[in-house]
Amino acid sequence: MTRPIRLLVATIGVTVLLGSAGCGSDDGGAVRKTGESGSGGASAVACVPVGEPSTAATTVTVDLDEWKISPAEDSVPAGIIAFEAVNKGKVPHELVVVKGVAPDDLPETDDGALDEAKLPDGALLGEIEGFPDGETCTGVFELAAGDYTLVCNITENEGKKEIHLANGMVTSFTVD
């Protein structure tokens, strides 16, 4: 292969690698902010579904509202579970799934948000990123039997500090 062709192939490979990195699952480490500060702040981005709902053996509707998380069921059988998150509030919300850490034991930042980096390894199972009020967004996760915590970890909305966990957006959930 000639040098210009090798350079082109390498450039394409790096571009594909960097492009695919943004498409992976969220590690949960990002600060949760929605909208933009300034005039006419934007609302949360549209729903980005996680997984394929048709693969789920069980679907649980979870209402998100100021300031509570209300699953339609407190317990479901282990397996592939779709959480159909319904934002009934007036601000964006998200749904984070944590395994094996009770709501009162969640590590928090100084301002009362979930400190996802301090969760035990493997405890952060996934999440439905922040999505606007009035919308429904689905996340599909494979859950083994155990105790889980569902939390909204939004920390800012349209440039204004708004710690959803500190406001009570957390609940227990059991998988049998």
pLDDT at 38: 31
Report the pLDDT value the prediction gives residue 96, as an integer from 0 to 100: 98
* CA separation for the pair 154, 145 (Å, rounded): 27
* 72 occurs within a structural domain: yes
With respect to residue 166, please indicate whether it lies within any of the assigned structural domains. yes
What pLDDT sits at residue 39?
27
Domain membership of residue 6 (yes or no) is: no
Backbone angles phi, psi at 19, to 5 degrees: -65, -40
- Residue-range definition of the domain harbouring residue 160: 26-34+45-175
Domain membership of residue 151 (yes or no) is: yes
Burial of 137 per CB tally in 10 Å (0-12, 13-18, 19+): buried
Number of domains the chain is built from: 1
Contact (Cβ atoms closer than 8 angstroms) between residue 98 and residue 125: yes
The CA angle 25-146-30, to the nearest 5 degrees, is: 30
148 in any annotated domain: yes
Residue 3 lies in a domain: no
Q: How far apart are CA 45 and CA 133, in angstroms?
A: 11
Task: Please state the pTM of the whole predicted model.
Answer: 0.77
> What pLDDT is attached to residue 158?
86
Predicted local distance difference test score (pLDDT) of residue 44: 56
The answer to the question of residue 150 being in a domain is yes
pLDDT score of 4: 40
- How confident is the prediction along the chain (176 residues), in pLDDT tens digits per residue? 544 443 333 333 333 333 333 323 333 443 344 443 332 333 457 899 999 999 999 999 999 999 999 999 999 999 999 999 999 999 999 999 999 999 999 999 999 999 999 999 999 999 999 999 999 999 999 999 999 999 999 999 888 999 999 999 999 999 99
**Would residue 102 count as lying in a domain?**
yes
Nearest of 55, 65, 107 to residue 85 by alpha carbon: 65
What's 82's domain CATH number? 2.60.40.420
